[in-house]
Amino acid sequence: MNYTLNQLQIFLKIAKTQSVTKAAEELHLTQPAVSIQLRNFQSQFSIPLTEVVGRKIYITDFGKEIAIAAEKILEEVANINHKTLSYRGEMSGRLKISVVSTGKYIMPYFISGFIKNNPGVELYIDVTNKTSVLASLENNEVDFSLVSIVPNNLNIEKLDLLQNRLYLVGNTEEKFNEGAHSIDIFSNLPLIFRETGSGTRQAMNKFIEANNIKVLKKMELTSNEALKQAILAGMGYSIMPLIGLKSELIDHQLQIIPVKGLPIKSMWSLIWLKGKKHSPLAEKYLEYLKKEKEALVQKHFEWYELY
C-alpha cells in the first residue's frame, strides 16, 4: 500500500458527498483530478470501494469501512500538526462557525484578520439557512453561529456585530416617486420570497402579517444570490438585507424603494450555547472580536451608513 494523505482526503470527501463533482467543488479541485486520485486510490485495493449505477456513485460496504479509517487517520494528522504548533507557542486548532446565507457578506470581514494573525488555525464555515444553522448550534457541532434573528427557544449568549436592515428592492427599469410610499404599493408589485426557514423570509412574513398586506406572490427562491438575480432580470421585487446589495446599488442596477415601516431592523449577532466550554482557540477569537469589532465595522462597512 502506498496511498497518500491527499488520496485519503479525496476519498473521504467522495464518501461524504456521494459525488465526485461535489467533492471536487468542496475541495476546490477539478473533477478530472479527483477522478484520477480516486482511481489511483482504488488500484491499491483488491475489493471495490465504489460502484457506479447509472450516473450515480455508491460507496460499497468495504468503502465505508475505509472511509471511517481515513477520517480517523486525517484527524490524527491534524492533531499532530496542532500539537507541533502549540509547542512552538502558536495558536492552533479548528474553529467551526455556521452562518446564515446572507451572513456570508459580513463574516469574512470579522474573521480574516484573526486567521492572518494565526496561520495555524483551521477554519470551517458552513453557510446555510437559519434552520440548519440553529440545528448545528443546538447539536453542539459548531463553536459559534452567525444569525440576524436571535432565537428565543435556545439558551444562548451573544455578541452583536452589525445592524441588519431590510428594504424593499427592485431593479431600475421602473421609476418611483420620491418620498416614502404607503404599504399599498405592495398590491401592485409581484413579490419574490426566500424559502421557508430563511431568516429573511421570517422577517418579511412578519412585516407583511403585521401590516395586513395582501401580496402578489411571484415565486420562491432558495438563496439570496438567486433572489437578487431574479430581481435584476425584472421578475419581481423583494424585501432584502442591505448587506448583500453593495455592488448593485453602487452600479445603479438595483434601487431601494422607500416604504413606510421599512427598513426592518435587526442585529447580526455571533451566538453560542450558554455555558458552553469554549476551546482556547474559540476563547481567543471572542477576545479578538470584542477588541476589534468597532474598528472592523468602521473599516469595512462605512458604505452601509449611506442608506
**pTM for this prediction:** 0.69
State the pLDDT at residue 198: 85
State the pLDDT at residue 247: 92
State the pLDDT at residue 88: 60
DSSP annotation string for 34-63: HHHHHHHHHTT-SS-SEEEETTEEEE-HHH
**Domain architecture of the chain: domains with CATH:** 5-87 (1.10.10.10), 93-162+267-306 (3.40.190.10), 163-265 (3.40.190.290)
State the pLDDT at residue 279: 85
Task: Give start and end residues of each alpha helix (H) in the chain.
Answer: 5-17, 20-27, 31-42, 61-87, 112-117, 130-138, 199-210, 224-232, 246-250, 280-300
Query: Counting Cβ atoms within 10 Å, is residue 31 exposed (0-12), middle (13-18) or buried (19+)?
Result: middle
State the pLDDT at residue 82: 64
**pLDDT of the chain, 307 residues: tens digit per residue:** 788 999 999 999 999 999 999 898 888 889 999 999 999 999 999 999 999 888 889 999 999 999 999 988 988 887 776 666 665 656 678 899 999 989 999 999 999 999 998 888 889 999 888 888 999 999 999 999 999 989 988 899 999 999 999 999 999 999 888 888 999 898 888 999 998 888 889 899 999 999 998 887 778 998 888 999 999 999 999 999 999 999 999 999 999 999 999 999 999 999 999 999 888 889 999 999 999 999 999 999 999 888 8
Rounded Cα distance between 27 and 88, Å, is 29
